[in-house]
């Protein structure tokens, strides 16, 4: 496929390791994680803050920030030492936030309003506060009610997401055992990829508080459990009233950050920056809230149609494992229900493991699946890839890329 000077290309993609709930990153605010990836993504591309025209910052759990620390994109860029004239926008599109950030930057470039944009995603669910509603004005003789809005993961007046995902999986004929098997595979694929050093291109370490006067660095994803077994997964009880979803076939409540820099191809050529991938199309979608598990299939189909490609043209597929049910439902839909085609698509999907193993720091996950897919295609010598992610109340974003052969 011919390149065009107005193509939008990816020139940098970096992330922190992802930490489990209450894990290594629990005391580090997500804004600081954002600062780390902002600086590192610029460094790896050989760029300076002055080269950026716009910054988009995805964050889902904005209760961590509250008023003291809101407009997180603005605060992160200032703390990172970027110019105070740089325009930013903080986005909440649930789990889709950082991939939506890429799309907004791309749109700005295609409209001719920018040449270079950064898309950041950052989250630390360990810092989500417990709430005591009404306490500001006094409770009188009423008992204080402390509420944890992370348990269950749900939205006001809607059923828990895990329950929805399990019910939709059953509708598509996908069993609990199949979901457990996918989860097990996610951990094992992560372990093989980690041992082969496949995440090195995308990772930047995080310096933690020193111990006994010695520096400590967080260098590897914390959530994976490659030693788990089908027997252990089968013993877990279902959660949130779901018929199939357990803590074993779902991701954790995680922390981490991602940054992706995109640029007009002509600008990259002008300043001597090497493109890593070309963005061919992007799409956003939404649907009936309880059918969130189907959204990656829907939005991937839309993105492929825009790129004039099919799912069979893809060499790598990344679908965020919000639950194993999501990946299995969406790939089955993309296969049109054809069992043999479905199994073939699954072989291409999340080849280095997914969010069940790596983690799902919600606002950062869209950027993670994009860069993981991109670096995998580069290791293979090029090809086509599509990534898709669902978000709360049935939202979805997707991106199709091409990596040219070496």
Query: Annotated catalytic, 360?
Result: yes
User: Which residues touch 265 (CB under 8 Å, ≥6 apart)?
Assistant: 3, 4, 5, 6, 7, 8, 9, 275, 278
Task: Give the bridge partners for 319, in sequence order.
Answer: 388
Residues 6+ apart with CB under 8 A from 214: none
Return the bridge partners of 399, or none: 282, 387
Check if 172 is active-site: no
The Cα–Cα gap between 367 and 117 comes to 14
Residues in the chain: 406
Which of the residues 95, 100, 387, 399 is marked catalytic? 95
Catalytic position from the list 117, 187, 360, 387 = 360
Which ranges constitute the DSSP H helices of 115-175? Answer: 161-171
Active-site residue, 390 included: yes
Element (H, E) at 317: strand 316-319
* 174 Cβ contact partners less than 8 Å away, ≥ 6 residues apart: 244, 325, 328, 329, 332
**Contact criterion met (CB below 8 Å) for 297 and 394:** no
Cβ pair 161, 292 in contact under 8 A: yes
Strand partners, 256: 123
**Residue 301: half-sphere exposure toward Cβ, Cα within 13 Å:** 14
Task: Please identify which residue in the block is written with the tokens 């005591």.
Answer: 132
Are residues 14 and 371 in contact, defined by beta-carbon separation less than 8 angstroms? yes
From the list 60, 96, 387, 390, the catalytic residue is 390
Kindly state the DSSP code that residue 152 receives in the 8-state scheme: S
Give CA–CA dist 110/108, Å, rounded: 6
Euclidean distance between CA atoms 58 and 209, whole angstroms: 26
d(Cα 75, Cα 56) in Å, to the nearest integer? Answer: 12
Q: 255 forms bridges with which residues in the sheet?
A: 19, 124
Please name the residue that has the structure tokens 């279902």. 238
Q: Residues with catalytic annotation?
A: 95, 360, 390
């Amino acid at each position: 496929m011919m390149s065009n000077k107005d193509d939008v290309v990816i020139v940098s993609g970096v992330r922190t390791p992802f930490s489990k709930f209450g894990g290594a990153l629990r005391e580090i605010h997500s804004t600081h994680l954002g600062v780390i990836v902002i600086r590192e993504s610029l460094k790896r591309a050989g760029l300076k803050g002055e080269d950026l025209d716009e910054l988009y910052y995805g964050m889902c759990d904005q209760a961590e920030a509250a008023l003291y620390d809101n407009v997180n994109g603005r605060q992160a860029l200032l703390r990172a030492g970027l110019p105070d004239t740089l325009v930013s926008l903080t986005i909440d599109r649930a789990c889709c936030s950082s991939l939506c950030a890429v799309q907004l930057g791309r749109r700005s470039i295609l409209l001719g309003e920018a040449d270079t944009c950064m898309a950041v995603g950052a989250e630390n669910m360990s810092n989500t506060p417990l709430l005591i509603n009404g306490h500001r004005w006094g409770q009188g003789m009423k008992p204080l009610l402390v509420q944890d809005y992370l348990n269950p993961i749900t939205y006001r007046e809607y059923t828990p997401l895990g329950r929805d995902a399990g019910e939709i999986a059953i509708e598509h004929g996908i069993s609990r055992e199949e979901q457990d098997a996918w989860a097990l595979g996610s951990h094992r694929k992560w372990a093989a990829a980690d041992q082969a050093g496949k995440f090195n291109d995308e990772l930047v370490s995080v310096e933690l508080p020193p111990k006994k006067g010695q520096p400590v660095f967080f260098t590897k994803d914390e959530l994976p459990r490659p030693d788990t077994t089908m027997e252990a997964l089968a013993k877990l009880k279902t959660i949130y009233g779901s018929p199939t979803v357990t803590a074993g076939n779902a991701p954790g409540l995680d922390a981490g950050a991602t940054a992706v820099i995109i640029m007009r191809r002509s600008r990259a050529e002008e300043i001597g920056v090497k493109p890593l991938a070309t963005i061919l199309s992007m799409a956003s979608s939404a649907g009936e809230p309880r059918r969130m598990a189907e959204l990656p299939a829907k939005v991937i189909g839309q993105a492929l149609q825009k790129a004039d490609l099919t799912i069979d043209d893809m060499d790598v597929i990344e679908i965020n494992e919000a639950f194993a049910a999501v990946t299995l439902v969406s790939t089955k839909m993309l296969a049109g229900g054809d069992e043999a085609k479905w199994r073939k698509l699954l072989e291409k999907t999340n080849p280095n493991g997914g969010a069940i193993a790596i983690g799902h720091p919600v606002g950062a996950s869209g950027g993670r699946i994009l860069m993981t897919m991109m670096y995998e295609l580069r290791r293979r010598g090029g090809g086509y890839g599509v990534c898709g992610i669902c978000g709360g109340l049935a939202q979805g974003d997707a991106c199709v890329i091409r990596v040219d052969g070496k």
